Structure 1
Amino acid sequence: MSTLTYTLVVNGPLYGSQSARSAYQFAKALIEQEHTLVSVFFYQDGVTNGSALSVPANDEFDLAKAWHTLADEYQIRLETCVAAALRRGVISEDEASQHGLAQSNLAESFSQAGLGSLAEAMLTQDRVVQF
């Protein structure tokens, strides 16, 4: 079996739909099958996955922490669309500084990127799967 490179696109929010959780489970399955997950691009409401300010109940799965752990363990880029993130209040340190905001809340392991990053992934990965 040959291995493939993947990028996932997550449009669903951190909580409130199954989209992001399904993407995470798919990511784990790819890795278990020895494929390479290069990046996950969070777009539209999916950018909420990159907020450092989510606190799930003690008995709930911590999806934000799970993304962070997966990215660190397998060197996966986690990118939030900068325009979508700004509209939804997910702000990196650079963006906070640029826009004169007192604080940022982009979670560790996440970065902000433009749609050019997604376009590049579509051109260079074997597969791009959207959730």
Structure 2
Amino acid sequence: MNYTILVTGAAYGTQNASTAFLFCKALVETKNILHSVFFYCDGVLNANNMITPATDEFDLIKAWQNLNKKHKVNLYVCNSAALRRGIIENEKILNMNVKKGNLAPSFQITGLLELANSIKICDRIIQF
């Protein structure tokens, strides 16, 4: 089966994102195809490079990045939702009074068209 995962919960404060990550991990371990993870609404906060969990807490942002590196899973972030929540990629800072963007490596800023394309080619979409 080919899956797309839609994450709408923030990295910390809700269970949505951590449950989504555990589900994604199970998918790739059971030889399913995880085409992409799309972060929307508060889910875009999973791509904030400025979040620093305590040393004894699970680092969800790093876990998403490792999923991308190890299994080549696309990590898409909704552009509009990201801008509303202060997630800025380095390329956007030229038009703003910001010295450095805070989009974490391995995450890609994109639009809802990418979500639509992912849904079109997948067998299942699951939202967390």
Q: Provide TM-score, normalisation by structure 1.
A: 0.94
The reply to whether residue 75 of structure 1 matches residue 41 of structure 2 is: no
1:97 counterpart residue number: 94
Amino acid aligned to 1:76: V
Match in the other structure for 1:38:
35
Q: Report the AA paired with residue 58 of structure 1.
A: T
Deviation at 1:101, TM superposition (A): 3.0
Structure 1 ranges of 4+ moved more than 6 A: none
Aligned identity (percent) is: 45
Within the alignment, does 1:23 sit opposite 2:20 as a pair? yes
Deviations 1:93-119 (A, max 9, x none): 122224453220100100100000001
TM-score, normalised relative to structure 2: 0.96
**Corresponding pairs, count:** 128
Q: Which runs of 5+ in 1 are unaligned?
A: none
Match of 2:85 in 1: 88
Structure 2 gap segments, 5+ residues each: none
Q: CA RMSD in A?
A: 1.0
